[in-house]
Amino acid sequence: MLKSINNDDVSKAIVKYKKLQKHFSIGEEAIKNMAQSINTNRKTRLLVKKGIETISIKLDDILIFYTENRIVSVFDSNGKKYLLDKSLNELEVELNDSIFFRANRQYIVNLNFIKSFKPYEKVKLQIELTIPQLNHFIIVSQNSAPGFRSWIMKW
C-alpha cells in the first residue's frame, strides 16, 4: 500500500459495505417470498358446466381443453365432457405452464396425460394421450413444436 490508512476511513467503508450487503440480501429474500406466494396462489379448481349444472373440477383431473366453433370444452380423466365460459387464450394465461401446454389454436393439453409424441409431417408433432378412447387427434403446430420439445424435456 502506497497511501497511509486512516482507521476512520476503514471503519466507514466497513459500515457502508454491511449496509449495502443487508440492503441487497433483503431484496433477494423478498423476491423469493413473492415467487413462492405466486406459485401457492394458483387455482387448483375450475368451474365448468354440464347442462344447467355448474361443477367444480380439479385442474389435476383435466386431460385437455378443446375449442370448436368458439365453444371451449373440457375433458376430464374419465373422458367426461364439460363446457367452459372462457377462451383458450384466457385459460393459457391462468393455467400453470409447467403442467399445461398450448399445442395449437384448438388444444391445451395436460402434461400428466401425455403418453407419447411422434413426428407428424416432418415439422409438427402428434401427441398420444393416456386415454385413447377420447378420439382426439392432437397435433402440435409447427410454431409450437420446438417449445413443446423443450417444455416436455424439463419434466
CA–CA separation, 18 vs 53, rounded Å? 61
Give the tens place of pLDDT for each residue, 101-146.
999 999 999 999 999 999 999 899 999 998 877 788 899 999 999 9
Domains of the chain, start order = 45-154 (2.40.50.1020)
The CA distances from residue 62 to 16, 47, 142, in Å, are 54, 12, 25
Task: Please check whether residue 127 is in contact with residue 75, taking contact to mean a CB–CB distance below 8 angstroms.
Answer: no
Judging by beta carbons within 10 Å of its beta carbon (0-12, 13-18, 19+), is residue 108 exposed, middle or buried?
buried
pLDDT for residue 12: 85
Distance of alpha carbon 55 from alpha carbon 39, whole angstroms: 24
Mean pLDDT of 142-154: 91
- The reported pLDDT for the residue numbered 20 is 79
